[in-house]
Chain A
């Protein structure tokens, strides 16, 4: 019997709670924010783990985590996960209304329905909930039932009654909107008219008196302008003792910050940003440690294999030996330059040049003979995105299974030659995707833009290759920042970069500029582009400064990006590790 591929990357929403708990690695840096009463924007491109993070912090998942001994602390913060990428939120009939205000009322109504449903379901999980509500059932039903016409029978339980009623409301709303002459639903619910009063009622029950509700709004980048304005208005609400909004969105399509009344929400004042895309992603970085835990956990839970990732994805012996050889070559060179008196200079020299010398040597042969392999290589290639980590792992596992002989006895490691083959295949596939034209898959991308992005990336990678082969001081720099952004070309360039980001071909990070200490954006290509060109995905802590007009010329006219081989007019910046 074939074992299940432990590196499947199904959308987190489609995982069972058990699978989610099996896969997820908690990051305590985020937990303290997500468990707080603050409004949070959780930023990350597709595959960075936004949904997993929100789901993990939802009450439903936390409550079912059997590792927890005491569930009472869970009631301090009840997270209700609301995926915005559902047919309900994709319903857009209210856009036919000529009145924006009415459109926003309907948008808010859908949010309220979904949130109330999740609150009821979450609280119903608590074993004592029904008992806790019993003294209040009649009073609550009378109060709310009178206003909203919620039917109740004697011995009705409040939570059940509201749940059934909400189910009816969601049906009636949609039926009305699909069929009635007048699309507007007169009995729409809002934060103020129903959700907040409901929460206040729940908090009258002693068991829930300290409960704070976190609305975990997922995939907010898919929402339209009316929906966004409604959520922003909730974020702007002054009192967050009872509820807060945690909103997950991509960076590229980060929602606008305007409210329904035309005001705006401000970072710092109204919300805090958490960026899920880790700035550094070698195996010793925070992401590297996370990657290790992810791989280990999946292999253990799904394949019952307790093994270190380095053993499951061993590095090619040839590669290891070659890297050692070139470390020694670089060390001898360093000693000849600096002598023995400054060990740090020797270490830095070895760090900068040993791998560069190896890759230069490989580049001289026509075939790409770099034996890309090893867990550390997979971490580098992931570019700090979990999905990018799992993708080659999935195909590697698949490849080994398909070559396995009967009877199948499980897989204990992926041979280096298989790893190399898959890495080169996935690298070729990424280039192919670009060559086929992004306009086929990205909304708003024209054929011309698709071609320009191909040319842009091709020339950037060519630049990195030239630097690897010839550059004196930073041969392995594979990140870049853009200079002379006041040039007219930058405005046109930024649209291409945006599309490339949406396609997960390019990622951005924020660092501190060495020149003036201001915040600076730097760009990292999806590192899976590099193996096909014989480049080293490991990179080094430096970034190349490229002029905006040079990048634009590369995109538009396929011109090579100029650079100098030394330190003079191509200023590189060393990136300080551990900035975040």
Chain B
């Protein structure tokens, strides 16, 4: 039986973005035997997300798809971890059919889901819908303090210095914040290749280097989130070069790098995964829906 013909349990992060609901329609067209949608949403942005929530619920109701909602709290990683852990345990029998739509899921939540789903099933499918375009304005601001992901905080060795790997995005202030917070001995910047979404301008190496000038020894490498492996090869190469360090790694930029970083962590559990929350996201964050990417993560 083709994957797409199997009954599916679809995990979605609720968002106001168009591609949240449009993505569900694409997902359902592909996984045409979806039986349940697990909708993760955040009380902090519930007003903004309300329209999409209603659309999703109505859409599912018409098609006899059960909607299970998981209410989370903004910036409360302890509450969110425990809530997701409990929710996943409750549906552990259904996880053989799990499909994770990471499009509008915050990275920390996506990783938390992956860990918990991985306890009960050997693999999970993932989907990502890129937008038609991003806003020309700011995308997110007011970054919070970086934090290590529970259970993925690595295995540090005493006497080793810290190296920071940042897969960069449009916001160089997050790069600055990470460097200031961890004060690494060495910084490796993973820069997305290409000019899609004006990446070559908005996510240029020079922008990120400017904010850390004189503060830390650094290198950079190219990464292509939209390639088949989402840059896993480049990532593993840099990790190998940084064997003499305790590594902390963070994914900003194209969402698909959360997949490559997670896979990298699976084979390099000594590396810590890190997340920097943002308090504000631009209401005009993105428009429409673009290309869809699919894959499988093995546990």
**A interface residues, Cβ below 8 angstroms from B:** 5, 8-11, 13-14, 85-88, 90-93, 95-96, 113-114, 117, 121, 166-167, 170-171, 174-175, 177-179, 394, 437, 439-441, 443-447
| 229-270 of chain B: CB within 8 A of chain A | 246, 248, 269
Q: Are A170 and B157 in contact (CB under 8 A)?
A: yes
Q: Are B159 and A121 in contact (CB under 8 A)?
A: yes
Q: Are A91 and B148 in contact (CB under 8 A)?
A: yes
Given known A87-B148, A121-B159, A178-B269, contact A92–B153 (CB-CB < 8 A): yes
Pull 25 A–B residue pairs with CB atoms less than 8 Å apart, ordered by A.
Answer: A8-B214, A10-B214, A11-B215, A87-B153, A88-B156, A91-B153, A91-B156, A92-B148, A95-B78, A96-B81, A117-B158, A170-B157, A174-B154, A178-B154, A178-B155, A394-B214, A439-B141, A439-B279, A440-B143, A440-B171, A441-B143, A441-B176, A443-B144, A447-B141, A447-B280
Q: Are A11 and B183 in contact (CB under 8 A)?
A: yes
> B290 at the A/B interface (Cβ < 8 Å)?
no
Q: Are B142 and A13 in contact (CB under 8 A)?
A: no
Q: Are A117 and B81 in contact (CB under 8 A)?
A: no
Residue from A13, A85, A170, A437 in contact with B141 in the complex, judged by beta carbons closer than 8 Å: A437
Given known A14-B183, A443-B143, contact A96–B152 (CB-CB < 8 A): no
A113 to B156, CA, bound (A): 12
| 264-284 of chain B: CB within 8 A of chain A | 269, 272, 279-280
User: Would you list the 4 A-B pairs with minimal beta carbon distance, nearest first?
Assistant: A11-B183, A88-B156, A91-B153, A439-B142
Chain B, residue nearest A436 (CB): B173
A87 to B177, CA, bound (A): 16
* Set of chain A residues within 8 Å of B272, measured between Cβ atoms: 87, 90
* Set of chain A residues within 8 Å of B144, measured between Cβ atoms: 443-444
* Set of chain B residues within 8 Å of A170, measured between Cβ atoms: 156-158
* Set of chain B residues within 8 Å of A88, measured between Cβ atoms: 156, 158, 246
Chain A, residue nearest B147 (CB): A92
* Set of chain B residues within 8 Å of A440, measured between Cβ atoms: 141-143, 171, 173
* Set of chain B residues within 8 Å of A8, measured between Cβ atoms: 214
| 163-222 of chain B: CB within 8 A of chain A | 171, 173, 176-177, 181-183, 185, 214-217
> B145 at the A/B interface (Cβ < 8 Å)?
yes
Residue from B78, B156, B159, B171 in contact with A96 in the complex, judged by beta carbons closer than 8 Å: B78
Given known A175-B155, A443-B144, contact A87–B162 (CB-CB < 8 A): yes
Q: Are A87 and B145 in contact (CB under 8 A)?
A: no
Q: Are B216 and A14 in contact (CB under 8 A)?
A: yes
Nearest Cβ on chain B to A302's Cβ, whole angstroms: 14
Given known A87-B272, A90-B153, A113-B158, contact A10–B215 (CB-CB < 8 A): yes
A444 to B75, CA, bound (A): 12
Which of A88, A96, A177 has the most chain B CB atoms inside 10 A of its CB? Answer: A88
> B150 at the A/B interface (Cβ < 8 Å)?
yes
As a 0/1 sequence over residues 129 to 157 of chain B, the CB contacts with chain A under 8 angstroms (1 = contact) are 00000000000011111011011111111
A171 to B246, CA, bound (A): 13
> B161 at the A/B interface (Cβ < 8 Å)?
yes
* Set of chain B residues within 8 Å of A441, measured between Cβ atoms: 143, 173, 176-177
Chain B, residue nearest A449 (CB): B142
**B interface residues, Cβ below 8 angstroms from A:** 78, 81-82, 141-145, 147-148, 150-159, 161-162, 171, 173, 176-177, 181-183, 185, 214-217, 246, 248, 269, 272, 279-280
Nearest Cβ on chain A to B228's Cβ, whole angstroms: 29
Q: Are A92 and B157 in contact (CB under 8 A)?
A: no
* Set of chain B residues within 8 Å of A175, measured between Cβ atoms: 155
* Set of chain A residues within 8 Å of B151, measured between Cβ atoms: 93, 177-179
* Set of chain A residues within 8 Å of B182, measured between Cβ atoms: 85, 87, 90
A177 to B177, CA, bound (A): 27
Chain A, residue nearest B75 (CB): A443
Q: Are A446 and B183 in contact (CB under 8 A)?
A: no
Which of A11, A90, A439 has the most chain B CB atoms inside 10 A of its CB? Answer: A90
Nearest Cβ on chain B to A463's Cβ, whole angstroms: 29
Nearest Cβ on chain A to B89's Cβ, whole angstroms: 12
Q: Are A92 and B214 in contact (CB under 8 A)?
A: no
* Set of chain B residues within 8 Å of A446, measured between Cβ atoms: 142, 279
Residue from A13, A92, A174, A179 in contact with B183 in the complex, judged by beta carbons closer than 8 Å: A13
Q: Are A9 and B150 in contact (CB under 8 A)?
A: no
Nearest Cβ on chain B to A225's Cβ, whole angstroms: 13
A532 to B82, CA, bound (A): 51
* Set of chain B residues within 8 Å of A117, measured between Cβ atoms: 158-159
A170 to B154, CA, bound (A): 12
Nearest Cβ on chain A to B150's Cβ, whole angstroms: 5
Chain A, residue nearest B179 (CB): A11
Which of B153, B159, B280 has the most chain A CB atoms inside 10 A of its CB? Answer: B153
* Set of chain B residues within 8 Å of A86, measured between Cβ atoms: 156, 162, 246
Nearest Cβ on chain A to B206's Cβ, whole angstroms: 15
* Set of chain A residues within 8 Å of B177, measured between Cβ atoms: 441
Q: Are A96 and B82 in contact (CB under 8 A)?
A: yes
Q: Are A10 and B155 in contact (CB under 8 A)?
A: no
Chain A, residue nearest B153 (CB): A91
Chain A, residue nearest B177 (CB): A441
Chain B, residue nearest A175 (CB): B155
Nearest Cβ on chain A to B197's Cβ, whole angstroms: 20
Which of A5, A9, A10 has the most chain B CB atoms inside 10 A of its CB? Answer: A10
Chain B, residue nearest A181 (CB): B119
Nearest Cβ on chain B to A200's Cβ, whole angstroms: 23
Q: Are B154 and A87 in contact (CB under 8 A)?
A: yes
Chain A, residue nearest B246 (CB): A87
* Set of chain B residues within 8 Å of A96, measured between Cβ atoms: 78, 81-82, 150
Q: Are A87 and B248 in contact (CB under 8 A)?
A: yes
Q: Are B214 and A9 in contact (CB under 8 A)?
A: yes
* Set of chain A residues within 8 Å of B150, measured between Cβ atoms: 92-93, 96
Nearest Cβ on chain A to B80's Cβ, whole angstroms: 11
Chain B, residue nearest A90 (CB): B148
A392 to B143, CA, bound (A): 27
Chain B, residue nearest A113 (CB): B158
Nearest Cβ on chain B to A254's Cβ, whole angstroms: 17
Nearest Cβ on chain A to B158's Cβ, whole angstroms: 5
* Set of chain B residues within 8 Å of A443, measured between Cβ atoms: 143-145
A178 to B151, CA, bound (A): 4
A114 to B158, CA, bound (A): 7
A11 to B212, CA, bound (A): 12
* Set of chain A residues within 8 Å of B176, measured between Cβ atoms: 441
* Set of chain B residues within 8 Å of A174, measured between Cβ atoms: 153-156
Chain A, residue nearest B183 (CB): A11
Nearest Cβ on chain A to B115's Cβ, whole angstroms: 10
Nearest Cβ on chain B to A162's Cβ, whole angstroms: 12
A439 to B145, CA, bound (A): 12
Which of B148, B156, B173 has the most chain A CB atoms inside 10 A of its CB? Answer: B156
Q: Are B158 and A167 in contact (CB under 8 A)?
A: yes
Q: Are A10 and B216 in contact (CB under 8 A)?
A: yes
Nearest Cβ on chain A to B267's Cβ, whole angstroms: 15
A72 to B272, CA, bound (A): 41
Q: Are A93 and B82 in contact (CB under 8 A)?
A: no
Nearest Cβ on chain B to A159's Cβ, whole angstroms: 15
Nearest Cβ on chain B to A189's Cβ, whole angstroms: 14
A166 to B269, CA, bound (A): 20
* Set of chain A residues within 8 Å of B181, measured between Cβ atoms: 85
Chain A, residue nearest B215 (CB): A10
* Set of chain A residues within 8 Å of B143, measured between Cβ atoms: 440-441, 443
